[in-house]
Amino acid sequence: MADETLRPTSSSSSSSSHASPAPQRTPSQSMRLNAPSQSPGHSHRHSFTESLRGMPPSPRANRQPSMSQADIQAFLNNPPTAGSPDPRFVGRDWQHIKVGELVDPEDLRFVELDTGIEDATNLLAESGAPVLLIRTDKTEKSAVATFDYRDLTQYLLFATGQLFPDEEHLAVFQNLAKKAQQEQKIPLRDAKSLGTKEPFITLPHSADLSAAIETFGGGVHRIVILKEGTNHAVGILSQLRLVKFLWENGRSFPIIDQLYPKEVRELGIGAQSPITINGDKPLKEALVIMNNEGVSSLAVIDNQYNVVGNISNTDVKLLTKSSSAPLLENTCIHFISVILSTRGMNDGKDSYPVFHVYPHSTLAHTVAKLVATKAHRMWVVENLTPGGTPSSSAPTTPGPGPAPHPTPISISHPSVPHPPHLSTSFSQPSPPFQPLSTTPSVSASALPGLHMSGRLSGVSGGGEEAAEREFE
């Protein structure tokens, strides 16, 4: 890795502390944003990851017929209803159902502390798992940490010069830079020592769901479930899995089922102000904001605060090859076009750019969308009239009639200047799609965000708000 890429600078910091026992992620006080230094005369040097490039291939051998945007809109307007509840849970108090009943050991994917970050990244992408459990060696069944796309995002920010460590971690950073220059493996134990870490939260498999709800209410995304009396991992419970369980079995739990017909604004959902970024801002700013604010996704908005897209930590897998360098310097709107195009190639269907609901949408409609799309959150937007004023007369759930086609984000093909020294390319098979030399033909001021969604007013998450409001 080039010296200019990973040259650390000193900065002082103060540690953040939790204000309460509830697990909370706090913004990193030990990292600061720095633009990577430029060296016009620098010639590209292969790094420890330079031979490692490309996107993982699609798991589908053949592309399936694409869905039209009208079909996608109809699906989003009328998400599937919950099926028959599991007879195991009929008549039981949902709060006392055991967390072990919701997890499957087959979902676990392990890596070791000495696993290289490039190998861990490949496993994360190829397995489709949202998180990998880190253990000390292959003989262990207990985990000591996790590795997910948030960790990968943070590592890439360090590697590309967007973040630098404080003095406490300066020696570690310099050691990693030396290993990179010598093309040595960067083990996870070193890569994870640089920045802030998400709390490693566990519960015994015999714990009640009420304990999981309380934990999720503190902002934790997932919980590692352990066999009672041991440190052996038997599963992972995520916010989305819990929401899906309560949706599919809601009729077995009257206290929850009675909430589904209520409107999200009545339940106080989406009342908080979400973190956003303007579509004209460079992608690197979005990644730094997500890292420093401890959020897993950002709403991308136009100049009128209408939602035009979403960028999440998971999307960082599109940045793990050196040819992706222009994306960091390009706009968030352009990156959204790349995300949607790549999903279409991999999944064999078009992707709708924005998942959103309205304040008058029912909880049932909102949760059904979360489950059907496997999204972690829905953006709550105001349904504006053509005159630009909020409308409250729209139906709670959109009707089954033909939906207007949202205006797509179009792209043109001029060349894009290469930013300096991105040397974070991970080994994967050849990419099926590489729209990396494109720039958007429209800016945030010209996007039809009003017709794509509406003016952002809040966010409905897959777990935090469910824990704090709906299911108390």
Residues 121 and 170 in one domain: yes
The mean pLDDT of 271-278, rounded to a whole number, is: 86
Residue 438 in domain:
yes
Where among 252, 285, 305 does a domain terminate? Answer: 252
Calpha distance 438→202 (Å, rounded): 44
404 against 1, higher pLDDT: 1
Residues 438 and 458 in one domain: yes
Residues 167 and 312 in one domain: no
Amino acid identity at 449: G
Calpha distance 49→26 (Å, rounded): 31
For residue range 430-457, what is the model confidence (pLDDT) as tens digits? Answer: 343 344 444 444 555 555 554 556 777 7
Residue 224 in domain:
yes
Residue 145 in domain:
yes
Question: What are the backbone dihedrals phi and psi of residue 33, each rounded to the nearest 5 degrees, phi first?
Answer: -80, 130
**pLDDT above 50 for 405:** no
| 73-77, 79-83, 253-257: least confidently modelled range | 73-77
Residues 238 and 283 in one domain: no
Report if pTM > 0.75: no
Where among 223, 252, 281 does a domain terminate? Answer: 252
Total domains in the chain come to 2
Tokens of 319: 């940045």
Q: Residue 355's closest CA among 380, 391, 392?
A: 380
Segment of 49-58, 205-214, 262-271, 422-431 carrying the highest mean pLDDT: 205-214
**pLDDT above 90 for 178:** no
Where among 191, 219, 252 does a domain terminate? Answer: 252
Residue 184 in domain:
yes
Residues 182 and 327 in one domain: no
CA 360 to chain centre: 26
Residue 152: Cβ-neighbour burial (10 angstroms; 0-12, 13-18, 19+): buried
Residue 46 in domain:
no
Residues 111 and 75 in one domain: no
Residues 245 and 269 in one domain: no
Residue 164's H or E segment, with its range, is: strand 163-164
For residue range 328-346, what is the model confidence (pLDDT) as tens digits? Answer: 999 999 999 998 888 755 5
Report pLDDT for 30.
35
Residues 322 and 387 in one domain: yes
Residues 292 and 225 in one domain: no
Q: Categorize the per-residue pLDDT at 173 as very low, low, confident or very high, splitting at 50, 70 and 90.
A: confident
Residues 226 and 77 in one domain: no
Residues 197 and 274 in one domain: no
Calpha distance 67→307 (Å, rounded): 23
Report pLDDT for 332.
96
Q: What is the CATH number of the domain that holds 214?
A: 3.10.580.10
Residues 374 and 460 in one domain: yes
Domain that includes residue 209, residue range: 94-252
141 against 36, higher pLDDT: 141
For residue range 197-231, what is the model confidence (pLDDT) as tens digits? Answer: 778 999 999 999 999 999 998 888 899 999 999 99
Calpha distance 237→168 (Å, rounded): 34
